[in-house]
Amino acid sequence: MIEPIYWLNGRLVSAAEAVIPLNDHGLLYGDGVFEGIRFYNRRPFRLADHLERLELSARALMLALPHRTALEAAVTETIAAFAGADGYLRLVITRGAGSLGLDPGHCERPSLFVIADKVTLVSESRRRSGLDLITASTRRPGPTVLDPRIKSLNYLNNILAKLEARRAGADEALLLNERGQVAEGTAENLFIARRGRLCTPPVSDGALDGITRGIVLELCRQEGIEAVERSLTPYDVHTADECFLCGTGAELLPVRTVDGRPMGHCPGPLTERVRRAYQAIIELETTTRSEQ
C-alpha cells in the first residue's frame, strides 16, 4: 500500500502531525485557495500553470503566498518522499488561524500544505465505457457572484451537484449558470463535438479556467481540429455527436449519456484523438528524456 505524504508549513510531517488549528479560516469559512496537480514519472505536470493560477486566485482573495520557488520546493520535496512514480498533489493555502469572525485581518499567517496520494476518480471500466451525466438543479455562480476563476476552498455548489448525481445513480453532474447555460462538471470542464468541431463554454459562463481545458484547446490547434469557446445550452449537450469531461484528476473522460440522452458516439473519434494527444503530451513532458 502506498501511503499518502504530508508536507505542512515547511516540512514533511507524519499523518498524526498533519493537522491545522480548528480556528483556521480555511476550515471555518472555506477561506483559502488550492490546486490539484498530477505527477507522472515523479515529475509534476504543468506545474508552472498551476502555480500561476494559484497565485492569481490568492491575489484575488488578498491572500499572501510564499514565493514561487518555495512552492516549487514544497512540491518537489513531497513528490520525492512519495513511494509511487505517479500520483496526485493537493496544494492548499488557508487564511490561517484567527478569531471567530469573518475578518481575515485577524488571522495570523496563512498555512501552506501539500498532500501526495493516489487518486482514482472513476473506475477503469467507466473510463472506457463513458460516464452517465445529469444536469444538476444546483447552479454554478457566475462572475457577477463569485468569479469561477478563483479556485477557492468553497466547493459547496459543486458538492451539492455531486450529491444530486449520486442520488440519481449518475456518475457526474453538469452545472448550469444562472442564465441556464452550461458551465462545467463538478470538477471538470466540458467539451462537446458537433459536425467535426469541438465546443467548450467560455469561462465567463461559469467555468474554471481549467489547465486541461487549455491543453485540449492547444492540442486542437496543433492537430488541426476546429475548437471554439461558445455558450452551450442543455439542448446542445443533449444532441451532441460526442461529449467529454476533462480535468487534472479526471484527465479525459468520455460521456455516454446526458440526462438519459445517448451521445452520438462514445467514445467518439474526436474524443479519442484528443485523448491520445493528451497522453502523448504528458509522456513528452514528464519523461526524463525531455529534461535533457
| Residue closer to ligand PMP, measured from CB, 13 or 163 | 163
Any contact of residue 247 with ligand PMP (CB under 6 A)? yes
| Residue closer to ligand PMP, measured from CB, 98 or 254 | 254
Residues touching ligand PMP: how many (CB under 6 A)? 13
Any contact of residue 205 with ligand PMP (CB under 6 A)? no
| Residue closer to ligand PMP, measured from CB, 22 or 156 | 156
**One of 43, 151, 162, 213 is an active-site residue; which one?**
151
Q: How many other C-beta atoms can be found within 10 angstroms of the C-beta atom of residue 77? A: 16
**Binder of ligand PMP out of 4, 36, 84, 143 (CB under 6 A):** 36
CB of 249 to ligand PMP, least distance (A): 6
The CA distance from 148 to 206, in Å, is: 6
Which residues 6+ apart lie within 8 Å of 43 measured at CB?
79, 285, 286
Stretch that binds ligand PMP, among 11-19, 24-32, 99-107, 182-190 (CB under 6 A): 182-190
Show contacts with ligand PMP in window 123-152 (CB under 6 A).
none
Encoded one letter per residue, x for contact with ligand PMP by CB under 6 A and - for no contact, window 206-245 reads --x-xxxx--------------------------------
Identify any residues that bridge with 131 across adjacent strands, giving them in sequence order.
255
Which residues 6+ apart lie within 8 Å of 127 measured at CB?
253
Encoded one letter per residue, x for contact with ligand PMP by CB under 6 A and - for no contact, window 185-204 reads --xxx---------------
Instruction: Please report, as a single letter, which amino acid is at residue 20.
Output: I
Stretch that binds ligand PMP, among 128-136, 183-191, 253-261, 265-273 (CB under 6 A): 183-191
Any contact of residue 158 with ligand PMP (CB under 6 A)? yes
3-state secondary structure of 271: helix
Per the annotation, the verdict on 151 as an active-site residue is yes
Any contact of residue 44 with ligand PMP (CB under 6 A)? no
Cell 476552498, residue located: 153
The CA distance from 207 to 204, in Å, is: 7
CB of 57 to ligand PMP, least distance (A): 11
Segment holding 131, helix H or strand E: strand 131-139
The CA distance from 232 to 234, in Å, is: 7
CB of 175 to ligand PMP, least distance (A): 8
CB of 35 to ligand PMP, least distance (A): 7
The DSSP line for 135-170 is EEEEEPP-TTTS-TTS-BS--HHHHHHHHHHHHTT-
The CA distance from 23 to 151, in Å, is: 21
Burial 80-112 (b: 16+ CB within 10 A, else e): eebeeebbbbbbbbbbbbbeeeeebeebeebbb
**Active-site residue numbers?**
151
Contact residues for ligand PMP, defined by CB under 6 A: 36, 158, 184, 187-189, 208, 210-213, 247-248
